[in-house]
Structure 1
Amino acid sequence: MPGFSMSKTKPEDSPTAPATGIRKGLTNYGDSGFSLFLRKAFIKGAGYTDEALDRPVVGICNTGSAYNPCHGNAPQLIEAVKRGVMLAGGLPMDFPTISIHESFSQPTSMYLRNLMSMDTEEMIRAQPMDAVVLIGGCDKTVPAQLMGAASANIPAIQLITGSMLTGSHRGERVGACTDCRRYWGKFRADEIDSEEIAAVNNQLVASVGTCSVMGTASTMACVAEALGMTVPGGASPPAVTADRIRIAEETGAQAVRMARSGLTIDKILTADAFENAIRVLLAIGGSTNGIVHLTAIAGRMGLDVDLKALDRMGRETPVLLDLKPSGQHYMEDFHHAGGMATLLRELKPLLKLDALTVTGRTLGEEIELAGPGFEQDVVRTIADPIYPQGGIAVLHGNLAPGGAIIKQSAADARLMQHEGRAVVFENGQDMAERIDSDDLDVTADDILVLKNIGPKGAPGMPEAGYIPIPKKLARAGVKDMVRISDGRMSGTAFGTIVLHVTPEAAVGGPLAYVQNGDRIRLSVVAREITLLVSDSELARRAAAAPVDVPTAERGYRKLFLDTVLQADKGVDFDFLRAARIHDTTPKG
């Protein structure tokens, strides 16, 4: 049979040599020779030659979907990755996985993140590939892919789909989705009418791609590059640009080089890499969701994120990136300003420069190769920051024994030290039914509290933590007030909002026992969130109304509710975390 040998002495078929390419992970029929013979017979039905099948195989995760406009450029990216793989002497093989879009996922995209990570991991394990290119962009897809690839532990490289372009409404530049929330707030306050809100709806998303501000998608793009998981410059090019296509081609070529060198993901996702990623997240005014996702990815590597150390890093890492919602610009402006190279150059004194990247070079070497900076107004210097501390602060207190998060760079400075009366909503449905009632007993000095939107309570920890300003207050001109929940909020959102209260209400955390009229104290400077109720009174309330932890009878919901962890553990499934856990961040 020309080009195909069944010889048992051929090196690549030797039982002692590691299997590569099409010979990896043979299906078990009890006869490995027949398994390879059958596999080659079927793949040749697609027109492949023996010469092609002898090359290193690069898998390409195809997350394109009609339901996911953030990945609307996936076909073009896949073709460019294939071109890069072929130019470097590899064999590209794209395959589908779950695709999750934030606005098209019920009950919430977070509910499906772990499922996508399992899909990604198992398809990497199941199919023969020497390296894998992970194509993702929308909020949960990048973390899901990095989680799955971390568990599979083969050479892996992330390709970001890229941000959308900005639009224009009546001469004002707009982009999803900070401006979505801003205009919707105007509509709720009767500042604009239904005709104008419909008009702006047509302009907020000017092209395919992820949100054009520093939301979760942009945060994870920057974090992926900081982790060393993308080629240099991989975070910032917009989705529809030639720069993005060139990055895709380069990513394919680099995947082949990684396959040949055996640069597996565990050599890149080290404790130093996670510290770099946290520094970047803080410096970009990144999404609070980034903490949850980084914690989950770290957990797959046997690492844990110390929230107290994270907060200490936040005190010494200023916000440098002038992007909405913490600043004024958009992702395409960041790209024009030099992207991550500009930011990393400024952050260099705070980074672990010896951390390895997918290029085989260190982060420090990549910063040097990027060359000198140039004049721009998007990335500030450490001497002239947007905000003097990191965008995210970690809070503790009797209301959040396991911690809570606030995006201080997007909050109202007047509310960072505040005490107020609790106005309590028991769950999302209760809030939806009462928040806009003229009979709601609420003032601008009160604190809105929303329970049961955590990992188990919702389930899936929805982005309902961005509790809307009650309509009667919005009409009176109130733009912000303190809001507290065990859920999340979009990275595109803004306001004085305490999130990820741990433990959540649904498992009996103190949040479950907050009542209307209780006093709550928030002090961001003291990193405190305190319910001004005695321990004995909280114990009495818990005994009088014990929490019924949510359960399900079947399917993925049962798996989710039975095994999902709290926010401080990344909301991952307990059985997916690596067995050996230690801190990624310094305790000094």
Structure 2
Amino acid sequence: MERSEKILQGLGNQYYRATLKSMGFTTEDLKRPVIGIANAWSECVPGHYNLRQVAQRVKDGIYRAGGTPIEFGVIGGCDGMGQGHDGMHYILPSRELIANSIESMAQINLFDGLVLLGSCDKIVPGMLMAAARLDIPCIFLPGGPMEGGVEFDGRQSDQTSSTEAYGMLSAGKITEAEYVALEDTACPGCGSCSYLGTANTMCALAEALGMTLPDGGLAPATSAVRMMMAEETGVKIMELVEKNITARKIITNGSVRNAIKACLAMSGSTNAVMHLTAIAHEAELDIKVLDEFDSLSRTTPQIAKMNPACKYNVIDFYYDGGVPRLMERMQTILETGEMTVTAHTVAENIASHKYRYPATGLVVRTMEDPFGFSGGVAVLRGNLAPDTGITKPGAFDKSLHHFEGEAICFDSEEAAEEAILAGKVHDGHVVVIRYEGPKGGPGMREMYKAMKYLYGRGLSKTTALITDGRFSGTNNGCFVGHISPEAAEGGPIAIVHDGDRIVIDIESRRLDLMVPQEEIEARLKAWKRPEPKFKKGWLGLYCKIAASGSEGAVLKFENL
């Protein structure tokens, strides 16, 4: 029995049918399986701007395959619009609101399946978390990546180039006219950010996880293929409903490991660690995602490289075969028996895939000739990160894989940015930005601008930045984020002083404060917990119930 039959079939259920018929649904429509379309379209997010058209083609596919689509809206915040001000406090918490709202709509309406439409940083994991929580047939489909803009500083520009350029302007490296010119040329059209940030990382990992049709993750936003994938998704969700292939039959320990390996192999965003942890949590899996990242990063080669690690964008990755080519090249280390939303296994998908374009070899290499013999994301531990910190060595120069410097400390993102632009950060500094974790921020803001300003001022290869906050997937340079425990919970990052020596060692996976242990203990004993920055509303609640970054920043109601 389909879920929707409980309210749409039988003489006594006229009330529900009458309600839907008031919006034009017919008797025949209500005899079919009902598929919810969770659409995060808005005019706030370039990655979602084309989702009206994508949704229509999904509907066409559902109708064609004998189902009835019912579309509803989902919020979605653009990380870019939230950067550097109070709006960023809301970005990570919005992931939980997205998951909760989709769960609510699916249960209120008893949808038989869901198609999830969203492209950007917290929307993708929020939707996958909802799918894992609901355990009904679901397919995730993004709107596709943006084209790169005019060339600037040796690569195609994007909106982050504007922030780098502002740092260059402040250092007198470019003219105001050069800076202003980027405004109209950095982003030539809609789509998720053109580089391998968190948005495109999570779209690629949704495909690697098996929750998106092959090529559905990264076909360009403005391409005909994007619309073809939408209709095919509508058809395929009906097959999943018929065969009762639910989300938890796809999101398994094995498929999460496949996604972790894919992330490492392409040096995806560090935020993927937190989001895959949260998705596994919602699926009630026993996999320890952090430990898997730690162990697999030592043995998984990096065989794909994109901006910010080089000049090639995500669309270049797509033309070089994209996620299907990556999975094919990696298949000897993948768990290829895992089920996917094609209703076939990873192995069957690899064997049957037809590439639209010949391999260029510019973005994707082979396992025998990788860009690096270890993964592009690493988990660090040490006396400064007892519960871990996350870094992305695949995106920065190998000369920075061992960095020792002098701490310069800031208790907020804004204070650090002001100091960087004022020229107070110098070669050899380790910039410490704290009280920006899930609870302390609250919301674990991204230190995107701080890193971009360091780059713009020519300090990206001579300084480092560590934080209990996060980083944008576009950031490069020596950084460690997600430091746990966070400062607001009394983690050691709270008691670092200006002038302390800090060592970041990628090879040994260490992050250490070079201060005697007795001094660390004395400082921790003297530390006092700060007052929450928000005491009411959604953020007032969130800072009470959010878990640490090492736990995926999921909600832990036992914290109340």
Q: 1:534 aligns with which of 504, 516, 521?
A: 516
Structure 1's 181 and 531: CA in aligned 2 closer, same or farther, altered over 3 A? same
Q: 1:388 aligns with which of 373, 382, 385?
A: 373
Partner AA of 1:376 in structure 2: T
**Over residues 240-259 of structure 1, what are the superposed CA-to-partner deviations in whole Å (9 max), with x where a residue is unaligned?**
11000000000011111111
| Larger displacement relative to structure 2 (344-353 or 37-46) | 37-46
> For 2:484 and 2:152, how far apart are their aligned partners in 1?
43
Do structure 1's residue 139 and structure 2's residue 125 form an aligned pair? no
Match in the other structure for 2:384: 399
> For 1:255 and 1:412, how far apart are their aligned partners in 2?
43
Match in the other structure for 1:445: 428
The size of the alignment, in residue pairs, is 551
Q: Secondary structure at the match of 2:481?
A: strand
> For 1:25 and 1:77, how far apart are their aligned partners in 2?
27
Q: Any conservation in 2 of the 1:229–1:358 contact (CA below 8 Å)?
A: yes
TM-superposed deviation, 1:299: 0.6
TM-superposed deviation, 1:172: 6.8
**Over residues 461-480 of structure 1, what are the superposed CA-to-partner deviations in whole Å (9 max), with x where a residue is unaligned?**
11116634777x96576654
Q: 2:66 aligns with which of 79, 89, 93?
A: 89
Partner AA of 2:327 in structure 1: L
Q: Secondary structure at the match of 2:308?
A: coil
**Over residues 318-366 of structure 1, what are the superposed CA-to-partner deviations in whole Å (9 max), with x where a residue is unaligned?**
2111311122211221221222111111111110000110122110110
Do structure 1's residue 305 and structure 2's residue 277 form an aligned pair? no
Match in the other structure for 1:43: 20
Do structure 1's residue 286 and structure 2's residue 273 form an aligned pair? no
**Over residues 230-274 of structure 1, what are the superposed CA-to-partner deviations in whole Å (9 max), with x where a residue is unaligned?**
112111201111000000000011111111111111111000000
Q: Any conservation in 2 of the 1:65–1:71 contact (CA below 8 Å)?
A: yes
Structure 1's 474 and 263: CA in aligned 2 closer, same or farther, altered over 3 A? closer
**Over residues 202-223 of structure 1, what are the superposed CA-to-partner deviations in whole Å (9 max), with x where a residue is unaligned?**
1111111101111111100110
Q: 2:50 aligns with which of 73, 76, 79?
A: 73
Instruction: Give the 5 Å matches for 1:388-537.
Output: 388-438=373-423, 440=424, 442-464=425-447, 467-468=450-451, 479-537=461-519
Partner AA of 2:65 in structure 1: A
Match in the other structure for 2:353: 370
Match in the other structure for 1:351: 334
TM-superposed deviation, 1:523: 1.0
> For 2:402 and 2:320, how far apart are their aligned partners in 1?
35
Match in the other structure for 2:556: 574
The TM-score normalised by the length of structure 2 is: 0.93
Q: Any conservation in 2 of the 1:165–1:175 contact (CA below 8 Å)?
A: no
TM-superposed deviation, 1:542: 2.1
**Over residues 395-433 of structure 1, what are the superposed CA-to-partner deviations in whole Å (9 max), with x where a residue is unaligned?**
100000000011001123222112221111122243244
> For 1:576 and 1:143, how far apart are their aligned partners in 2?
23
| Larger displacement relative to structure 2 (116-125 or 366-375) | 366-375
Q: Any conservation in 2 of the 1:452–1:458 contact (CA below 8 Å)?
A: yes
TM-superposed deviation, 1:510: 0.5
> For 2:134 and 2:533, how far apart are their aligned partners in 1?
30
Partner AA of 1:81 in structure 2: V
Q: Any conservation in 1 of the 2:451–2:476 contact (CA below 8 Å)?
A: no
Partner AA of 1:529 in structure 2: L
TM-superposed deviation, 1:119: 1.0
TM-superposed deviation, 1:176: 2.5
Structure 1's 121 and 575: CA in aligned 2 closer, same or farther, altered over 3 A? farther
> For 2:466 and 2:433, how far apart are their aligned partners in 1?
6
> For 1:78 and 1:469, how far apart are their aligned partners in 2?
35
Q: Secondary structure at the match of 1:449?
A: strand
Structure 1's 189 and 33: CA in aligned 2 closer, same or farther, altered over 3 A? farther
> For 2:528 and 2:57, how far apart are their aligned partners in 1?
56
Do structure 1's residue 150 and structure 2's residue 135 form an aligned pair? no
> For 2:327 and 2:387, how far apart are their aligned partners in 1?
31
TM-superposed deviation, 1:305: 2.6
> For 2:403 and 2:26, how far apart are their aligned partners in 1?
70
> For 1:425 and 1:47, how far apart are their aligned partners in 2?
58
Q: Secondary structure at the match of 2:482?
A: strand
Match in the other structure for 1:9: none
> For 2:515 and 2:120, how far apart are their aligned partners in 1?
41
| Larger displacement relative to structure 2 (284-293 or 93-102) | 93-102
Do structure 1's residue 328 and structure 2's residue 305 form an aligned pair? no
Q: Any conservation in 2 of the 1:311–1:394 contact (CA below 8 Å)?
A: yes
Unaligned runs of 5+ in 1: 1-17, 27-31, 578-588
| Larger displacement relative to structure 2 (473-482 or 442-451) | 473-482
Match in the other structure for 1:264: 246
> For 1:554 and 1:51, how far apart are their aligned partners in 2?
48
Partner AA of 1:262 in structure 2: N
Q: Any conservation in 2 of the 1:85–1:253 contact (CA below 8 Å)?
A: yes
TM-superposed deviation, 1:185: 3.7
TM-superposed deviation, 1:181: 4.6
Q: 1:202 aligns with which of 155, 169, 184?
A: 184
Q: Any conservation in 1 of the 2:163–2:452 contact (CA below 8 Å)?
A: no
Do structure 1's residue 212 and structure 2's residue 197 form an aligned pair? no
> For 2:460 and 2:49, how far apart are their aligned partners in 1?
38
Partner AA of 2:102 in structure 1: T
Asked which structure has the greater CA Rg, the reply is 1
The TM-score normalised by the length of structure 1 is: 0.89
> For 1:474 and 1:45, how far apart are their aligned partners in 2?
57
Q: Any conservation in 2 of the 1:181–1:493 contact (CA below 8 Å)?
A: no
Q: 1:230 aligns with which of 191, 212, 215?
A: 212
> For 2:552 and 2:384, how far apart are their aligned partners in 1?
19
> For 1:412 and 1:552, how far apart are their aligned partners in 2?
39
Q: Any conservation in 1 of the 2:417–2:449 contact (CA below 8 Å)?
A: no
Structure 1's 516 and 58: CA in aligned 2 closer, same or farther, altered over 3 A? same
Match in the other structure for 2:88: 107
TM-superposed deviation, 1:561: 1.1
Match in the other structure for 2:30: 53
Structure 1's 82 and 317: CA in aligned 2 closer, same or farther, altered over 3 A? same
Q: Any conservation in 2 of the 1:487–1:500 contact (CA below 8 Å)?
A: yes
TM-superposed deviation, 1:104: 3.1
Match in the other structure for 1:557: 539
| Larger displacement relative to structure 2 (414-423 or 149-158) | 414-423
**Over residues 26-63 of structure 1, what are the superposed CA-to-partner deviations in whole Å (9 max), with x where a residue is unaligned?**
9xxxxx954x2111112112222211110111110121
Q: Any conservation in 2 of the 1:169–1:203 contact (CA below 8 Å)?
A: no
> For 2:227 and 2:114, how far apart are their aligned partners in 1?
18
> For 1:243 and 1:445, how far apart are their aligned partners in 2?
48
Structure 1's 478 and 142: CA in aligned 2 closer, same or farther, altered over 3 A? closer
Q: Secondary structure at the match of 1:422?
A: strand
> For 1:493 and 1:141, how far apart are their aligned partners in 2?
20
Instruction: Give the 5 Å matches for 1:11-22.
Output: 18-21=1-4
> For 2:456 and 2:120, how far apart are their aligned partners in 1?
31
> For 1:297 and 1:455, how far apart are their aligned partners in 2?
17
Structure having the larger proportion of residues in helix: 2
Q: Any conservation in 1 of the 2:487–2:493 contact (CA below 8 Å)?
A: yes
RMSD value, Cα: 2.3
> For 1:544 and 1:288, how far apart are their aligned partners in 2?
32
